[in-house]
Amino acid sequence: MKRRIGILTSGGDCPGLNATIRGVAKACYERFGEDNIEIVGISNGYYGLINNLCKDMSPSSFSGILTQGGTIFGTKRQPFKMMQVIGDDNVDKVKNMKETYKKQKLDCLLTLGGNGTHKTSKLLSDEGLNVIGLPKTIDNDIYGTDVTFGFHTAVDIATEAIDRLHTTAASHSRILLCEIMGNKAGWLTLNSGIAGGADIILIPEIPYDIDKVCDAVMHRSASGKAFSIIAVAEGCFDVNEAKMKKKERAAKRAEAGITTATNRIAAQIQANTGIESRVCVPGHMLRGGAPSAYDRVLATQFGVHAAWLIAQEKYGRTVAKIGNKITSNKLSEIAGKTKFVDTENHLVITAKDIGVSFGD
């Protein structure tokens, strides 16, 4: 029985996408035989599925990509909230995606992506397509899996960025704030902050009190430590903003002329403590480059499990790692849910037990 499998990568890129694609392809060729499997690469995520931007791949297409960053298929953000909205272009996106699936004679569609990608995956599954998701995000915020591919590599990169701030902060007796990606969940900032020896860690799940942040800085100064390192999740907010809705918070910040929480925190610390404060933003460097050894192994495991799900014709699911086991969850049970850092999480407690302040 010949199977025809479509693969797309959607949303932001991250290390491990190509490793996962390779894992799926090699496992499918091995399991079904090269003559019994056809793999279709879909360019630029759901945009490519909407516009039938598809290409038949060969086994050689997947050679040499294990260590390669980015995605060989390209990616593009296609917001879920607009998927069922027909815009000025008069394109029925859901209808087009279903038509592409049929035109390409696909038996299954594999979608590599984060929360938004998984919501659209569930939508297509509900529409009758055979869909399998693979959890990708440097934020590690997909519900139902302990870890996503790309996360560990991003932690390594963010940790190195924080590491490099220590010497310059000490040399100049400054407060250096490192802004880490993570708009809704603080997993990346929490892990890299602990690994990088940050003195203060600020994440969205724990609204901070700027006075307590300044107190932590002054406590270090009084003990003879003339510098501090602060790891800041880009989506963090203070205790007053925690009472506001997202749009209200954004409006308040725009009115103040400060676009990010990190810049505001730096300005407040410098004004309140008199210690020079600077901001460093690694930004998209956290997404770039080759995946770590951990992510190469994880991506390969995820790809192999996806091939097993195809063989078992278990669709409407997304691959996951729970404990030491590679398994899967129903899309209906995880789509639309976000995995947040619990304030009683063992990593939060660990950090507090070594004197790290969360500004709470």
pLDDT at residue 257, as a whole number = 67
Q: What is the dihedral of CA 313, 314, 320, 324, to 10 degrees?
A: -80
Q: Is the pLDDT of residue 174 over 80?
A: yes
Percentage of the residues of the chain whose pLDDT score is greater than 70? 99
Question: For 280-296, what is each residue's pLDDT tens digit?
Answer: 999 899 999 999 999 99
Find the mean pLDDT for residues 301-309. 97
CB neighbourhood size of 30 (10 A): 12
Q: Is the Cα torsion angle 247, 249, 253, 259 positive or negative in sign?
A: negative
The neighbouring-strand residues paired with 16 are none
pLDDT at residue 154, as a whole number = 96
Separation CA 186–CA 167 (nearest Å): 25
Q: Which of 139, 156, 199, 295 is catalytic?
A: 139
Q: Residue 60: what are its φ and ψ, rounded to 5°?
A: -70, -20
Structure tokens at 186: 């603080």
pLDDT at residue 256, as a whole number = 67
pLDDT at residue 9, as a whole number = 96
The burial class, CB within 10 Å (0-12 / 13-18 / 19+), for 184 is middle
Q: How confident is the model at residue 326 (pLDDT cuts 50, 70, 90)?
A: very high
Question: For 211-221, what is each residue's pLDDT tens digit?
Answer: 999 999 999 98
Question: For 63-77, what is each residue's pLDDT tens digit?
Answer: 999 999 999 999 988
Structure tokens at 324: 């030491």
Question: For 234-293, what is each residue's pLDDT tens digit?
Answer: 999 999 888 888 788 777 767 766 667 899 999 999 999 999 999 999 989 999 999 999
Q: How confident is the model at residue 89 (pLDDT cuts 50, 70, 90)?
A: confident
pLDDT at residue 214, as a whole number = 95
Q: Is 139 a catalytic residue?
A: yes
Question: Which residue is it, tokens 């003879």?
Answer: 224
Cα 159 from chain centre: 16
Overall fold of domain 155-287: Rossmann fold (3.40.50)
Q: How confident is the model at residue 79 (pLDDT cuts 50, 70, 90)?
A: confident
- In the chain, which residues fall in CATH 3.40.50.450? 3-150+291-334
Taking CA atoms, 207 is separated from 99, 194, 235, 256, 315, in Å, by 46, 18, 10, 19, 39
Q: CB of 22 within 8 A of CB of 65?
A: yes
Question: For 13-50, what is each residue's pLDDT tens digit?
Answer: 899 999 999 999 999 999 999 999 999 999 999 999 99
Q: How confident is the model at residue 82 (pLDDT cuts 50, 70, 90)?
A: confident
pLDDT at residue 239, as a whole number = 92
Residue, of 142 and 88, whose pLDDT is higher: 142
Q: How confident is the model at residue 321 (pLDDT cuts 50, 70, 90)?
A: very high
Average model confidence (pLDDT) across the chain: 93
For the domain bounded by 3-150+291-334, which CATH number is listed? 3.40.50.450
Strand runs labelled E in 114-245 = 131-135, 175-180, 200-202, 228-233
DSSP state of 63: T
pLDDT at residue 175, as a whole number = 94
- In the chain, which residues fall in CATH 3.40.50.460? 155-287
Percentage of the residues of the chain whose pLDDT score is greater than 90? 81
